[in-house]
Amino acid sequence: MKDFALIGFGQKGGRAIVGTTSVTANAAGYFYAIQFVTSAIVTSNSIKAGSDSPSLASITSGFSAGTVVYGQYTAITLSAADAAAIGYFGD
């Protein structure tokens, strides 16, 4: 049985998503949550196969700093060199 509290509170770890380079989740999983540190626009994202997660790139107005988005994303790309987010690992 999975302990979803570990996932929900970021205890599985995470990765900084900074600038305009695509950042991928850990090899075995996906980003469970994306927390935007600065206001940012997502230019592309990859969604885990079989997931019903929405495309973040389709939200062209972007996300405000402090916003947290949940889903199953395997890769995220931001639009600006000074944009930053934290991707928290799922599995």
**25-84 residue pLDDT tens:** 987 789 999 999 999 999 999 999 999 999 999 999 999 999 999 999 999 999 999 999
Q: Model pTM?
A: 0.87
- The answer on pLDDT for 2 being more than 60 is no
- The closest of 76, 4, 89 to 36, measured between CA atoms, is 76
- The closest of 63, 68, 52 to 9, measured between CA atoms, is 68
- The answer on pLDDT for 8 being more than 70 is no
71 vs 22: CA distance, rounded Å: 17
| pLDDT attached to residue 70 | 94
